[in-house]
Amino acid sequence: MSIQANKIFINLPVKDVKKTVTFFNEVGFGFNAQFSDENAACMVISEHIYVMLLSEAYFQTFTKKSVADATASTEVILAISATSRESVDEIVYKALSSGGSISNDPQDHGFMYAWSFQDIDGHLWEVIYMDENAAAQG
């Protein structure tokens, strides 16, 4: 039997929930207020993908392990798709103008274009556009 999950909730520790919400609002993401409070904010990536931005103290209540400092080590790279190369650039430029920083330079593989940034807590985000027609031919 294979797992048939229909939604994903990614939990990320953040230093300041309000500042992080402001950052991601400026990048262009929305939030579900029903699942947000002073300890957490539910960022909507799509109808089936959500990122729970949890204060570090609240995040710590879910694990016995120490919380990683994303500015010093990489715990995960979050990759999201974009609808075009221009959308990739737009998302990254918005992140940079909102306080984020470059993670890697843009990568152009012909059929796939990607660029990545670090959010204000140091989490790595990769934005990818893939031309599925070109990928199928290549």
pLDDT at residue number 28: 97
* In the chain, domain spans: 1-65, 72-138
| Predicted confidence pLDDT, tens digits, the chain (138 residues) | 777 788 899 999 999 999 999 999 999 999 999 999 999 999 999 999 999 999 999 999 999 999 999 999 988 999 999 999 999 999 999 999 999 999 999 999 999 999 999 999 999 999 999 987 766 665
Same topology, domains 1-65 and 72-138? Answer is yes
The reported pTM is 0.88
State whether residue 54 is helix, strand or coil.
Answer: strand
Out of 3.10.180.10, 3.40.640.10, 3.90.550.10, 3.40.630.40, the CATH code matching 72-138 is 3.10.180.10
Of 89, 36, 96, 28, which Cα lies nearest the Cα of 9? 36
What CATH architecture applies to the domain 1-65? Roll (3.10)
According to DSSP, residue 134 is labeled H
Question: What's the rounded Cα separation, in Å, for the pair 123 and 59?
Answer: 15
